[in-house]
Amino acid sequence: MCTKVLFLDSLGNGDANSLRSNPENAFSDLNSLAQSEKAVEELLIQQTPMQASDDHLIEFSEALRTVAKALRGSAEGKALAQAEAAEWKRRYELERSKNLDLLRQAPLNEEANSMEMDHIAKSPRLHVPENGKSARYALERICAHEVLQDCEPNSPIGSNNKLKRKASFKLSWGCKGQANDQHKKDIVSFESGNITTADRSINANMYVAISLTWETSPQNVLIFTKPKSTSVQVLSVEMVRWLREQKGLNVYVEPRVKAELLSESSSFDFVQTWEDDKEISLLHPKVDLVITLGGDGTVLWAASMFKGPVPPIVPFSMGSLGFMTPFHSEQYRECLEAVLKGPLSITLRHRLQCHIIRDKARHDYETEENMLVLNEVTIDRGITSFLTNLECYCDNSFVTCVQGDGLILSTTSGSTAYSLAAGGSMVHPQVPGILFTPICPHSLSFRPLILPDHVTVRVQVPFNSRSSAWVSFDGKGRKQLEAGDALVCSMAPWPVSTACQVESTNDFLRSIHDGLHWNLRKTQSSDGPRET
């Protein structure tokens, strides 16, 4: 009897605890559980005569066997999920590094073909980051801005006319951690116009005000406008004319806007556009500055046009809310004068890169394209009435299973959008992090989380899910996730810089005060009881 009690204790507590404390050992735990279960059976067979007269003992032993089976089932499930998570992670990392390599190589190869070595010799001073990068890095920087092609009016974006330099700029960080707040530290050069997130070892929280200084004057401006708005159309006509006639800039617009301008006057012939959406990928090397006329949706739209680095964006507010649109359209001349002259304060907004991995295409080399979001990626139940069943992993750790209407993975920029409506916290857009916000979870204890920016989040629809789920990217481009499909999401290396009216923190606070009337309350009068 004593032996049985000891055995019960080790099975009931020891194994379950080791599973909790060290999930990597799930497979070895499985073995020990299987052995334990077998031992229970053997014990029951050996001792049948004695237990036949002891009904309670039999009942107890059967209960024990059930517990052992349940534990084994759970450990099996966990081990499989972990093995699968590790495999997804491996595949994702492999693909990610391959894509990054391709990205790094692409401009260099293109440039090597089209450029003479004397261009390199003539290239201006380099600002290599202080921590030092390889010669290859330096060569990339030299090459990057030399090969950009200029376009004659009316020619499509990609046509090769003559070599032209894209305007270069540099960013500097006002460092609050120093004794003197005015201290500025150059982080990286932007001669190629490619803004890439700075070294992660830098304590991002120490840096507050980021300022952009033009090293050469911007020449090419791309304007995105909210469609079907008369006020926006009127302003765009005026602004394009001013940019050309007063500032002598090349202006690019979307094909729809060019048609609108031409219907206004044939003198807008100088405005450049593109014919084929594929040419949009050539926008970045051409454009020094992006202007948006609309609300936050137009900023999201503009950012979505750039699948890699994004030129600085100057967002004019012509909508109702405007968290990312600090500039007033009435003063566009003064604003643009100041921006073109520089230096200007910017908010460096992080983006998430998202990737769907289809179970059906598990063994295919080709996978779906990466999506970049400035606000958030949402996984929801779509039109089905079933609860979502979403298994979430952060790197290799199981986070939780979302049973409810869905889940929002948001940037800190998007923290004031859908995530806020679902109960997530508002976070300053320059704080690095990924918001993990459930939508109507069917559990009282499911509070939103904020994860660090270096993690990879994987959301998977399990095979036993009752329904599929739907993914949308900044509220657009809905895609279905079938059972077995997964969405993998991590911080993208290409942030979006938006110009500030005053400075990043000031603009953020103004937007939550003006846009949301955050914590607006009548001030209590002094006319009443006081602390004595």
Ligand X SMILES: NC(=O)c1ccc[n+]([C@@H]2O[C@H](COP(=O)([O-])OP(=O)(O)OC[C@H]3O[C@@H](n4cnc5c(N)ncnc54)[C@H](O)[C@@H]3O)[C@@H](O)[C@H]2O)c1
Shortest distance, CB of residue 525 to ligand ATP, whole angstroms? 35
Report which residue's Cβ sits closest to ligand X. 297
The residue written with tokens 């190589």 in the block is: 105
Say if residue 258 is exposed, middle or buried (CB neighbours under 10 Å; 0-12, 13-18, 19+): buried
Amino acid of residue 134 = S
Residue 421 interface partner, choices ligand ATP, ligand X, none, CB cut-off 5-8 Å depending on type: ligand X
User: Please, what is the minimum distance in Å from the beta carbon of residue 518 to ligand ATP?
Assistant: 17
Q: Which three-class secondary structure state does DSSP give residue 84? A: helix
Yes or no: say if 259 and 233 are a contact pair by the CB < 8 Å rule.
Answer: no
- The reply on whether position 512 binds ligand X by CB under 6 A is no
CA neighbor of 508 nearest in space, from 337, 349, 341, 377: 349
CA 417 to chain centre: 14
Please name which of 148, 135, 139 lies closest in space to residue 120, comparing C-alpha atoms. 139
277 catalytic per annotation: no
> Does 273 help bind ligand ATP (rule: CB under 6 A)?
no
Asked whether position 322 contacts ligand ATP by CB under 6 A, the answer is yes
Q: Which of residues 209-238 bind ligand ATP (CB under 6 A)?
A: 224-227
Of the candidate spans 64-72, 73-81, 319-327, 334-342, the one that interacts with ligand ATP by CB under 6 A turns out to be 319-327
Q: How far is the CB of 252 from ligand ATP (least distance, A)?
A: 13
Nearest Cα residue to 210 out of 412, 345, 349: 345
294 forms beta bridges with 317
First to last CA, the chain: 71
Asked whether 486 and 357 are in contact (CB, 8 A), the reply is yes
Binding track, positions 293-312, relative to ligand ATP; x by CB under 6 A: -xxxxx-xx-----------
Of 406, 414, 424, 432, the residue at the interface with ligand X (CB under 6 A) is 414
Q: How far is the CB of 416 from ligand X (least distance, A)?
A: 4
Stretch that binds ligand X, among 28-36, 87-95, 108-116, 408-416 (CB under 6 A): 408-416
Q: CA-CA distance, 232 to 230, in Å (whole number)? A: 5
- Tell me: does residue 300 bind ligand X (CB under 6 A): yes
Where do the DSSP E strands lie in 191-243? Answer: 207-214, 220-225
> Does residue 258 interact with ligand ATP by CB under 6 A?
no
Calpha distance 155→74 (Å, rounded) = 64
Q: Confirm or reject binding of residue 414 to ligand ATP (CB under 6 A).
A: no
CA dihedral for 332, 338, 342, 348, sign (positive or negative): negative
417 binds ligand X (CB under 6 A): yes
Residues between 114 and 143 that touch ligand X (CB under 6 A): none
DSSP conformation letters of 338-405: HHHH--EEEEEE--EEEEEE-STTTT-S--PPPEEESSEEEEE-TT--SPP-EEEEETTEEEEEE-EE
Q: Give the contact letters, 372-401, x = binds to ligand X (CB under 6 A), - = no.
A: ---xx-------------------------
75 vs 354, beta carbon nearer ligand ATP? 354
Q: Which of 15, 288, 296, 507 is catalytic?
A: 296
Nearer to ligand ATP, 297 or 309 (CB): 297
The mark string for 308-337 relative to ligand X (x by CB under 6 A, - otherwise) is -----------x-x-xx-------------
C-alpha dist (Å) from residue 169 to 130, 282, 342: 17, 20, 10
Cα separation, 222 vs 310, whole angstroms? 12
Instruction: Indicate whether 32 belongs to the interface with ligand X (CB under 6 A).
Output: no
Contact 305, 238 (CB under 8 A): no
Residues in touch with ligand ATP (CB under 6 A): 224-227, 254, 294-298, 300-301, 319-322
Binding positions for ligand X, rule: CB under 6 A? 295-297, 300, 319, 321, 323-324, 375-376, 413-414, 416-418, 421, 474-475
Residues labelled as active-site residues? 296
